[in-house]
Protein backbone atom coordinates (compact mmCIF):
# COMPACT_ATOMS: atom_id res chain seq x y z
CA UNK A 1 0.00 0.00 0.00
CA UNK A 2 1.20 3.44 -0.98
CA UNK A 3 1.88 6.05 1.71
CA UNK A 4 0.04 9.27 0.97
CA UNK A 5 1.09 12.77 1.95
CA UNK A 6 -2.09 14.49 3.18
CA UNK A 7 -2.40 18.28 3.35
CA UNK A 8 -5.09 19.58 5.67
CA UNK A 9 -6.31 23.17 5.66
CA UNK A 10 -7.81 23.94 9.05
CA UNK A 11 -9.54 26.70 10.99
CA UNK A 12 -9.64 27.10 14.74
CA UNK A 13 -10.77 29.36 17.51
CA UNK A 14 -7.63 29.61 19.61
CA UNK A 15 -9.38 31.04 22.67
CA UNK A 16 -9.37 27.92 24.80
CA UNK A 17 -6.13 26.42 23.54
CA UNK A 18 -2.55 26.69 24.64
CA UNK A 19 -1.46 27.37 21.07
CA UNK A 20 -0.63 24.95 18.28
CA UNK A 21 2.25 22.94 19.70
CA UNK A 22 1.65 19.78 21.70
CA UNK A 23 2.59 20.26 25.34
CA UNK A 24 2.07 17.73 28.14
CA UNK A 25 -1.03 18.35 30.27
CA UNK A 26 -2.17 21.34 28.17
CA UNK A 27 -4.93 21.57 25.61
CA UNK A 28 -3.37 22.41 22.24
CA UNK A 29 -4.55 22.27 18.62
CA UNK A 30 -1.82 19.79 17.67
CA UNK A 31 -2.70 17.62 20.66
CA UNK A 32 -6.40 17.53 19.74
CA UNK A 33 -5.65 16.80 16.09
CA UNK A 34 -3.18 14.03 16.97
CA UNK A 35 -5.73 12.48 19.32
CA UNK A 36 -8.41 12.63 16.60
CA UNK A 37 -6.07 10.99 14.06
CA UNK A 38 -5.14 8.31 16.58
CA UNK A 39 -8.82 7.52 17.03
CA UNK A 40 -9.46 7.51 13.28
CA UNK A 41 -6.38 5.60 12.12
CA UNK A 42 -5.42 3.58 15.18
CA UNK A 43 -1.79 4.68 14.91
CA UNK A 44 0.21 7.63 16.19
CA UNK A 45 0.58 10.26 13.46
CA UNK A 46 3.25 12.95 13.21
CA UNK A 47 1.93 16.36 12.20
CA UNK A 48 3.77 19.30 10.70
CA UNK A 49 2.20 22.75 10.59
CA UNK A 50 2.97 25.81 8.45
CA UNK A 51 2.88 27.97 11.57
CA UNK A 52 3.11 27.11 15.25
CA UNK A 53 0.57 29.68 16.38
CA UNK A 54 0.75 31.02 19.94
CA UNK A 55 -1.74 30.61 22.75
CA UNK A 56 -5.07 32.30 21.87
CA UNK A 57 -4.10 33.01 18.24
CA UNK A 58 -6.79 31.98 15.73
CA UNK A 59 -6.57 30.44 12.28
CA UNK A 60 -8.82 30.40 9.27
CA UNK A 61 -6.30 28.78 6.94
CA UNK A 62 -3.58 26.94 8.84
CA UNK A 63 -1.89 24.20 6.76
CA UNK A 64 -0.84 20.87 8.23
CA UNK A 65 0.40 17.60 6.73
CA UNK A 66 0.76 13.97 7.78
CA UNK A 67 1.60 10.64 6.17
CA UNK A 68 -1.37 8.36 5.67
CA UNK A 69 -0.58 4.68 5.60
CA UNK A 70 -4.14 3.49 5.36
CA UNK A 71 -6.56 3.22 2.42
CA UNK A 72 -9.02 6.01 3.19
CA UNK A 73 -10.75 8.41 0.77
CA UNK A 74 -10.01 12.11 1.31
CA UNK A 75 -13.61 13.15 1.94
CA UNK A 76 -13.87 10.49 4.63
CA UNK A 77 -10.79 11.85 6.41
CA UNK A 78 -12.35 15.32 6.35
CA UNK A 79 -15.74 14.14 7.55
CA UNK A 80 -14.47 11.72 10.19
CA UNK A 81 -12.02 14.20 11.69
CA UNK A 82 -14.71 16.88 11.89
CA UNK A 83 -16.97 14.40 13.65
CA UNK A 84 -14.27 13.59 16.22
CA UNK A 85 -12.72 17.04 16.73
CA UNK A 86 -14.20 19.69 19.04
CA UNK A 87 -16.19 22.32 17.12
CA UNK A 88 -13.40 24.81 17.86
CA UNK A 89 -11.27 23.07 15.22
CA UNK A 90 -12.57 22.42 11.69
CA UNK A 91 -10.94 20.64 8.77
CA UNK A 92 -11.75 22.81 5.74
CA UNK A 93 -10.12 20.61 3.10
CA UNK A 94 -8.04 17.45 2.86
CA UNK A 95 -5.89 17.00 -0.26
CA UNK A 96 -3.29 14.52 -1.44
CA UNK A 97 0.09 16.06 -2.23
CA UNK A 98 3.46 14.98 -3.59
CA UNK A 99 5.59 12.86 -1.26
CA UNK A 100 7.93 15.81 -0.85
CA UNK A 101 5.33 18.41 0.16
CA UNK A 102 6.24 20.11 3.44
CA UNK A 103 3.86 22.75 4.88
CA UNK A 104 6.61 24.91 6.39
CA UNK A 105 9.52 24.51 3.99
CA UNK A 106 7.38 24.81 0.85
CA UNK A 107 5.41 27.84 2.03
CA UNK A 108 6.20 30.90 -0.08
CA UNK A 109 4.26 33.28 2.13
CA UNK A 110 1.58 33.80 4.72
CA UNK A 111 -1.30 36.18 5.24
CA UNK A 112 -2.22 37.35 8.73
CA UNK A 113 -5.03 39.60 9.89
CA UNK A 114 -4.88 41.60 13.08
CA UNK A 115 -8.14 43.06 14.45
CA UNK A 116 -8.37 46.04 16.83
CA UNK A 117 -11.62 47.22 18.41
CA UNK A 118 -11.25 50.99 18.79
CA UNK A 119 -14.38 51.76 20.78
CA UNK A 120 -15.21 52.53 24.39
CA UNK A 121 -16.89 49.15 24.82
CA UNK A 122 -16.24 45.78 23.28
CA UNK A 123 -19.20 43.73 22.04
CA UNK A 124 -19.28 40.49 24.06
CA UNK A 125 -19.38 38.42 20.87
CA UNK A 126 -16.05 39.78 19.69
CA UNK A 127 -14.26 39.82 23.03
CA UNK A 128 -11.86 36.97 22.23
CA UNK A 129 -11.32 37.93 18.56
CA UNK A 130 -9.70 41.36 18.78
CA UNK A 131 -7.56 43.72 20.82
CA UNK A 132 -9.73 46.18 22.70
CA UNK A 133 -8.13 49.62 22.49
CA UNK A 134 -10.54 52.13 24.09
CA UNK A 135 -7.94 54.66 25.28
CA UNK A 136 -8.18 57.11 22.37
CA UNK A 137 -9.49 57.35 18.84
CA UNK A 138 -6.76 55.88 16.64
CA UNK A 139 -5.61 57.95 13.68
CA UNK A 140 -6.09 55.45 10.85
CA UNK A 141 -4.59 57.78 8.24
CA UNK A 142 -1.37 57.99 10.27
CA UNK A 143 -1.30 54.20 10.54
CA UNK A 144 -1.84 53.83 6.78
CA UNK A 145 0.90 56.32 6.06
CA UNK A 146 3.33 54.51 8.39
CA UNK A 147 2.45 51.12 6.85
CA UNK A 148 4.38 51.84 3.65
CA UNK A 149 7.71 51.79 5.51
CA UNK A 150 7.30 48.09 6.24
CA UNK A 151 6.92 47.03 2.61
CA UNK A 152 9.83 45.32 0.90
CA UNK A 153 12.94 43.50 2.11
CA UNK A 154 13.98 44.89 5.49
CA UNK A 155 15.74 43.99 8.69
CA UNK A 156 12.85 43.36 11.10
CA UNK A 157 15.05 42.62 14.15
CA UNK A 158 13.33 45.44 16.08
CA UNK A 159 10.05 43.59 15.69
CA UNK A 160 10.73 40.29 17.36
CA UNK A 161 11.07 39.18 20.96
CA UNK A 162 13.85 36.70 20.16
CA UNK A 163 17.45 37.40 19.25
CA UNK A 164 18.03 36.53 15.59
CA UNK A 165 21.14 36.29 13.42
CA UNK A 166 19.34 37.40 10.31
CA UNK A 167 16.23 39.52 10.78
CA UNK A 168 15.75 40.10 7.07
CA UNK A 169 12.19 39.43 5.95
CA UNK A 170 10.06 40.67 3.08
CA UNK A 171 6.54 42.05 3.36
CA UNK A 172 4.51 42.42 0.17
CA UNK A 173 1.37 43.87 1.73
CA UNK A 174 0.42 45.85 4.81
CA UNK A 175 -3.07 47.27 4.53
CA UNK A 176 -5.07 48.99 7.22
CA UNK A 177 -8.81 49.30 6.76
CA UNK A 178 -11.44 51.13 8.75
CA UNK A 179 -14.26 48.75 9.65
CA UNK A 180 -15.53 50.93 12.49
CA UNK A 181 -15.50 50.26 15.35
CA UNK A 182 -12.89 47.73 14.16
CA UNK A 183 -9.56 48.33 12.44
CA UNK A 184 -8.25 45.51 10.31
CA UNK A 185 -4.54 45.10 9.56
CA UNK A 186 -3.75 42.72 6.68
CA UNK A 187 -0.13 41.55 6.50
CA UNK A 188 1.38 39.37 3.78
CA UNK A 189 5.03 38.34 3.83
CA UNK A 190 7.40 35.56 2.89
CA UNK A 191 8.50 34.58 6.39
CA UNK A 192 7.89 36.04 9.82
CA UNK A 193 10.01 36.40 12.94
CA UNK A 194 8.70 35.30 16.34
CA UNK A 195 5.82 37.61 17.42
CA UNK A 196 6.58 39.89 14.45
CA UNK A 197 2.94 40.42 13.38
CA UNK A 198 1.84 41.27 16.92
CA UNK A 199 4.73 43.71 17.42
CA UNK A 200 3.96 45.32 14.05
CA UNK A 201 0.31 45.67 15.14
CA UNK A 202 1.39 47.14 18.47
CA UNK A 203 3.76 49.58 16.76
CA UNK A 204 1.15 50.71 14.23
CA UNK A 205 -1.32 51.19 17.07
CA UNK A 206 1.17 53.43 18.91
CA UNK A 207 1.48 55.49 15.72
CA UNK A 208 -2.33 55.67 15.50
CA UNK A 209 -2.42 56.85 19.11
CA UNK A 210 0.23 59.51 18.33
CA UNK A 211 2.53 57.96 20.91
CA UNK A 212 5.12 57.19 18.25
CA UNK A 213 6.12 59.10 15.15
CA UNK A 214 6.31 57.73 11.64
CA UNK A 215 9.91 58.91 11.40
CA UNK A 216 10.86 56.78 14.40
CA UNK A 217 10.27 53.72 12.23
CA UNK A 218 13.15 54.59 9.95
CA UNK A 219 15.71 54.35 12.73
CA UNK A 220 14.14 51.06 13.88
CA UNK A 221 15.16 49.57 10.55
CA UNK A 222 18.57 51.24 10.49
CA UNK A 223 19.55 50.50 14.07
CA UNK A 224 17.43 47.62 15.37
CA UNK A 225 16.23 47.94 18.96
CA UNK A 226 13.25 45.97 20.20
CA UNK A 227 12.75 48.45 23.08
CA UNK A 228 12.05 51.31 20.71
CA UNK A 229 9.30 49.52 18.77
CA UNK A 230 5.71 49.32 20.04
CA UNK A 231 4.31 46.74 22.47
CA UNK A 232 3.38 43.18 21.49
CA UNK A 233 -0.34 43.36 20.69
CA UNK A 234 -2.45 40.67 22.42
CA UNK A 235 -2.62 37.24 20.78
CA UNK A 236 -6.41 37.12 20.61
CA UNK A 237 -6.54 39.74 17.82
CA UNK A 238 -4.38 37.66 15.47
CA UNK A 239 -5.66 35.36 12.70
CA UNK A 240 -3.54 33.18 10.41
CA UNK A 241 -5.61 33.52 7.24
CA UNK A 242 -3.72 31.80 4.47
CA UNK A 243 -0.48 30.01 3.64
CA UNK A 244 0.77 30.38 0.08
CA UNK A 245 2.48 27.67 -1.97
CA UNK A 246 3.71 27.85 -5.56
- Write out the residues near a second copy by the rule CB under 8 A: 11-13, 58, 60, 82, 87-92, 121-125, 127, 129
| Smaller CB separation from a second copy, 60 or 97 | 60
CA distance 184 to 176: 6
Over 216-245, what HEC string results? HHHHHHHCCCHHHCCCCCCHHHEEEEEEEE
DSSP secondary structure string for all residues of 11-25: EE-GGGSS-SS--TT
Q: Are 182 and 130 in contact (CB under 8 A)?
A: yes
- Least distance CB 220 / a second copy (angstroms): 33
- Least distance CB 186 / a second copy (angstroms): 17
Q: Residue 210: how many CA atoms within 13 Å on its side-chain side?
A: 6
| Smaller CB separation from a second copy, 58 or 195 | 58
| Smaller CB separation from a second copy, 169 or 236 | 236
| Smaller CB separation from a second copy, 14 or 230 | 14
- Least distance CB 127 / a second copy (angstroms): 5
Q: Are 9 and 62 in contact (CB under 8 A)?
A: yes
- Least distance CB 162 / a second copy (angstroms): 29
| Smaller CB separation from a second copy, 88 or 95 | 88
The answer for residues whose C-beta is within 8 angstroms of residue 117's C-beta and 6 or more apart is 123, 126, 130, 131, 132, 133, 134, 181, 182
Measured CA to CA in angstroms, residue 185 lies from 11, 98, 111, 117, 203 at distances of 19, 34, 10, 12, 12
- Least distance CB 74 / a second copy (angstroms): 14
Nearest to 106 by CA among 22, 174, 5, 206: 5
Residues taking part in catalysis? 54
Residue count of the chain: 246
According to DSSP, the residues that pair with 49 across neighbouring strands are 64
Amino acid sequence: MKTKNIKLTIAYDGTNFNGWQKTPCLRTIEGELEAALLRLLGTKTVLQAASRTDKQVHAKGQVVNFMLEKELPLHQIERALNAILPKEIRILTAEEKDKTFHPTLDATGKEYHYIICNDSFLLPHRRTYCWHYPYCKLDIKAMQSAAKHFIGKKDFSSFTSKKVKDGCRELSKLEITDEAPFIKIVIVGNKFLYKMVRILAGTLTMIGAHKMKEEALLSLFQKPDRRLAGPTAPAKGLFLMKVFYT
